[in-house]
Amino acid sequence: MTPSAGVGSRALLRRLRQVMAEPGDGQQRLDKITRVIATNMVAEVCSIYLRRDARTLVLCATEGLNASAVHTVKLKLGEGLVGQIAARAEPLATDDAPNAPGFAYLPETGEEIYRSFAGVPIQRLGKILGVLVVQNRAPRVYDEEEIDVLEVVAMVIAEMAESGALAAGRDVDLARSGPFFARGVGAAEGAAVGPVHLHEPKVAIANPIVDDVESERARLRDAMAELRDEVDRLLDKDLLKGGGEHRDVLETYRMFAHDAGWLRRLDEAVASGVVAEVAVERVQSAARARLDRVADPYLRERLHDLDDLANRLLRRLTGATAAPPPKGAVLVGRSIGPGELLEVGERIAGVVMEEGSAGGHAAIVARALSIPLVVQAYGVVAEAENGDRIIVDGDEGAAHLRPEQGVVDAFAEKLAVAEEAQKVYASLRDLPAETRDGALLTLNMNAGLVSDVRHLAQSGAEGIGLYRTELMFMVRATMPGREAQAAIYRRILDMAGDKRVVFRTLDIGSDKILPYMKRVEEENPAMGWRAVRFGLDRPHLMKMQLQALLKGAGDRPLSVMFPFVTEWGEFEGARGLLLHERDRLAARGVPVPERVEIGAMLETPSMAFAPDAFFKLADFVSVGGNDLMQFFYAADRGNERVRRRYDPLGPAWLTFLEGIAARCEANGARLSFCGEAAGRPLETLALAALGYRDFSMRPAAIGPVKRLIRAADLAAARSIVARAVEDGESARGRLMRWARGSGLPV
C-alpha cells in the first residue's frame, strides 16, 4: 500500500467511526455508510449488497441508485458484476460497465446510466458476506490505490456485519438446519461420529479502526514474537522427538512463522488505518483468495500453514485462548495446519477440512496420530455450527453433517459391522492368502511415510510392495541430503525387519512438484517430463538417491523400482546407474547389499510390447494399474467427467493384463500389481484368475481381500472371467453373481 492510499483510508475510516458512534439502527447505519463512502470517494453511487443466504445477494443500502430497489433487488452468486465479485472473492473494476462481460441489466436500480464501476468483496476469514460498489456516470479507471481503500473499508464493514452492528432485520439470514452431506477425499483412514468443533477463531472486534498506528504496529510485533516462541515449543513435543516426516512438516511450519514478507504485509495493513486483528484477517483473506487460484500443491500447502498461523496470531492479539475441543469432538475447518492438529490430536475423534490434500501437511500429522481425516469437503464450514453432530468417514472420504436418524443408525450399523469384520481380519492376519484350491497370493501394502510402516504388523501385510520415496522430498522446504535420506531408508528397513520393502525412486512431475525446484509448465504433465525421465536427465539427483538407498540398506537385501519406464533403454540406463553406484561404494569399503533386486513399474501400454530383453533384464515388474489404465482407456483419472467411464473388469483391459502376465512368466520376471484395483476384493480375485499372484495395496484393504481369497475357488473364478472375456462382457456382473450365490464375502 502506498503512503497516500494509507492516508486516504485512514480519513475515511475516521468518518466511519463517527457514523458508528451515532444513534440509529442497522439500516440507518448502512445508509449513512454509503453516503460517507460516496462523498469521500467522489462517487455518484455507493451500494452495499449483503448475502441473504448461501447463494443470494440483496441490495441492502445505496446512495445514488433508486431507493425503491433496496431490499428488492436480488442477485445470485456469479450473476452480474456484483455476483461475479462475490463468487470469485476478487475486486472488479471497469470504465464501461454496461458492456462488461456478465453485466446484468436491472431496470429497477437505474444503474444503466453509470459507466464506471468498482467493486470489492466484503469478506471475513474467507467467508463472503457481501459486496461494496462505487459507480460514476463518466468513464474512468479506478486505480490501484482506490481499490485498496475500498478493500480496507470493506474489511471494516465485514467486522461491523459480523458483530451485529449492521443488523437490519431483513439482511443476512444464514441460519443452518437440516442435514448436509459433503463428498470429499479420505486422507487418513478410519471413521468417527461426534460434535462439531469449529477451528476458526470467532474474534469479536469492537473497534476495527486504529487510533495510534505506531503503537498498533508495536502490539503486532509483540504478538508475532509470542507466536514464534509458541511454534518453537511445538517442536519439543514427544511425538516429534523420533523424527519422521511429521517432524519435517513442523520444521517447515516454523520457517513460515519467521517469514519476513508476512510481517511486512501485516504492517502495511495496519498502516492503512485498521487494528492489528483486522490487518491479520485482511492478509489472511487475501491469502485464501490466492489459494483458490493456485495449482501448485506445495504453494497451496504453504498458504494453508499461513492460514493456521494467522489464526494463532489472532488469538494472541485478542488475548483469547482457544477453547479446547470437547473430548471426542470432530474438528471442522477450511484449512487446519499441522501445528493446530498436533496440539489437539489427543482430544479429537476426527477432522473434516474444505481444503487440503491426501499428501498435505495436516494429513501427514493425522496419519501419525491415527485420526480419521476427510479433505476437500466443500461447503461444510459455512453449514456447520459448534455442537452439530457430524459423521466423518475417512475410508469413503465423506462427511455427514446433522445427519438424519436413519443415516446415524446406518452408520452405527456400519461401524458395528466394521468392528466385527476387523475381528475377522485380525483372526486371518497371520494366515496365508491362499484360495480353497491351493493358489497362494502375496499381499503387500503401500507406504510413503515412516509412520505408515507401523501398519505392517497390524495389517497382516507380507511386506511393502511400493514405498513412495517422493513424499519425503515433498514435505520439506529444501532438498534432503544424501545422509538424511540414507537415515530414513535405514529406519524403514529396521522397522520392516525381515519383510521385503520395494523402494520406488523419485516419481515427481505431473501433479507432484518439489517446492525447491522450478516448475516446468507442460500441456500434459501426466505424460511429460516426470519420474525416470526426469531422473535420467538429472543424473546427479538420481545418483544421490541411489547412493542413499544403498547406504541405508547396508549389507541387507535391497529392492529398487524405477517408475514410469516407457521403453526398455530407460530401464537399462537407470539399472546401470544403480549397479555402478553399488560397485563404486563397495570399492571404497562402504557396506552395500550383496543382493539387489532391480525392477520397473509398467505404467504405459508401450512396455507391454517391450522386447523380451526387458523382461529378462528386470528382476521384477510391477503393473502400476492407476496410470496404465488411464493411458489404456485414454481417460484422465483426475477428471471426474471421464475417470469412471471405464470398468477395471472390462474385457479389453483384462485381455491386455493377461498378455502382460504371460510375457513375465515366459521370461522369468516376477510380476506384481499395484493400484486401486489391487485393494478391491473382487478385482483382486479377477487379477488372480489372470495369473497375478503378488499385490500391493493400502493397509486397510488387506483384510477384506484376504477374506475373499481364502473363501474362493480360483479355478471357478478363472472359468467365469474367461467366459466373460470371450463374450466381450465385463467380468464384474458374472463374478458378483457367482460370489453371492456361493456365499462369498464380497
Is residue 330 a part of any domain in this protein? yes
What is the predicted pLDDT for the residue at 179? Answer: 87
- CATH of residue 127's domain is 3.30.450.40
Q: If residue 46 lies in a helix (H) or strand (E), which one and from where to where?
A: strand 45-53
Cell readout for 27 is 439500516
Sign, CA dihedral 201-204-210-214, equals negative
Cβ 560 vs Cβ 599: under 8 Å: yes
Q: How many domains does the chain have?
A: 3
Provide the residue type at 199 as one letter: H
The answer to whether position 418 is within a domain reads no
User: Residue 398 corresponds to which amino acid?
Assistant: A
The grid coordinates listed for 188 are: 487418513
| Rounded Cα distance, 512 and 470, in Å | 8
pLDDT value of residue 168: 47
Query: Which pLDDT value is given to residue 240?
Result: 44
Strands 373-375 and 440-447 turn out to be unpaired
CA atoms within 13 A on the CB side of 185: 13
Residues 381 and 501 both lie in one domain: no
Considering the domain boundaries, does residue 171 fall inside one?
no
Compute the distance between CA of residue 444 and CA of residue 464 in angstroms, rounded to an integer. Answer: 5
β-pair type (127-136, 45-53):
antiparallel
C-alpha grid cell for residue 183? 463428498
The cell 456400519 sits on which residue? 414
Structure confidence at residue 94 (pLDDT) = 93
Query: Could you tell me the end-to-end alpha-carbon distance of the chain, in angstroms, rounded to an integer?
Result: 62
For the chain, helix, strand, coil in percent to 5 are 50, 20, 35
pLDDT of residue 326: 86
Q: Is residue 663 part of a domain?
A: yes
Same-domain pairing of 9 and 106: yes
Q: Could you tell me the strand order of the sheet in which 373-375 lies?
A: 180-183, 398-401, 389-393, 191-198, 330-333, 350-353, 373-375, 185-188
Residue type, 328: G
Do 153 and 218 fall into the same domain? no
Q: The domain that contains 332 carries what CATH number?
A: 3.50.30.10
Q: Is residue 514 part of a domain?
A: yes
Q: What's the maximum distance between 2 C-alpha atoms anywhere in the chain?
A: 90
Q: Which three cell numbers stand for residue 539?
A: 543424473
Looking at the fold, whether 581 and 652 belong to one and the same domain comes out as yes
pTM: 0.61
> Is residue 118 located within the same domain as residue 255?
no
Q: Tell me, yes or no, whether 335 and 457 share the same domain.
A: no
389 with 469, same domain? no
Please check whether residues 650 and 550 belong to one and the same domain. yes
- Inter-CA distances, 116 with 97, 153, 363, 421, Å: 6, 19, 46, 66
* φ, ψ (nearest 5 deg) of residue 253: -60, -40
Do residues 54 and 76 lie in contact, with contact meaning Cβ atoms separated by under 8 Å? no
DSSP 289-318: HHHTT---HHHHHHHHHHHHHHHHHHHHHH
Do 281 and 364 sit in the same domain of this protein? yes
* Co-location of 244 and 274 in the same domain: yes
Regions of the chain with pLDDT less than 70? 1-10, 20-21, 125-126, 162-177, 200-207, 234-259, 286-308, 319-323, 338-339, 358-361, 368, 474-478, 508-529, 637-644
User: Any idea what the CATH number is for the domain that residue 625 is in?
Assistant: 3.20.20.60
Closest by alpha carbon to 33, among 206, 168, 159, 166? 166
What residues contact residue 313 under an 8 Å CB cut-off, 6+ apart? 223, 224, 227, 280
Question: Is 424 part of a structural domain of the chain?
Answer: no
Considering the domain boundaries, does residue 395 fall inside one? Answer: yes
Q: Are residues 392 and 316 both part of a single domain? A: yes
CA distance 272 to 268: 7
**Cβ contacts of 665 within 8 Å, gap of 6 or more:** 671, 691
| Phi, psi of 645, deg, nearest 5 | -80, -15
Rounded distance, CA 228 to CA 208, Å?
25
Partner residues linked to 296 by β-bridges:
none
Q: Which of 353, 388, 413 is the last residue of a domain?
A: 413
Strands 500-504 and 45-53: unpaired
Domain boundary among 413, 443, 465: 413
- Residue in the structure block whose three cell numbers are 569399503: 589
Question: Where does residue 255 rank: exposed (0-12), middle (13-18), buried (19+ CB within 10 A)?
Answer: middle
Q: How far apart are CA 639 and CA 630, in angstroms?
A: 10
Report the catalytic residues: 361, 674
Grid cell digits, residue 376: 476437500
Do 138 and 100 reside in the same domain of the chain? yes
The burial class, CB within 10 Å (0-12 / 13-18 / 19+), for 354 is buried
Of 116, 132, 163, which residue constitutes the final position of a domain? 163
Residue from 439, 444, 441 nearest 462 by CA? 444
Report pLDDT for 313: 79
Q: What angle (nearest 5°) sits at the alpha carbon of residue 516, between those of residues 514 and 522?
A: 55
- Full domain range(s) for residue 387: 180-413
Positive or negative CA dihedral for 64, 69, 73, 79? negative
Name the nearest CA neighbour of 378 among 358, 394, 356, 396: 356
How many Cβ atoms sit within 10 Å of the Cβ of residue 212? 9
CB 277 within 8 A of CB 162: no
DSSP line for 72-129: T-EEETTSHHHHHHHHHT--EEES-GGGSTT----TTTTGGG--EEEEEEEEETTEEE
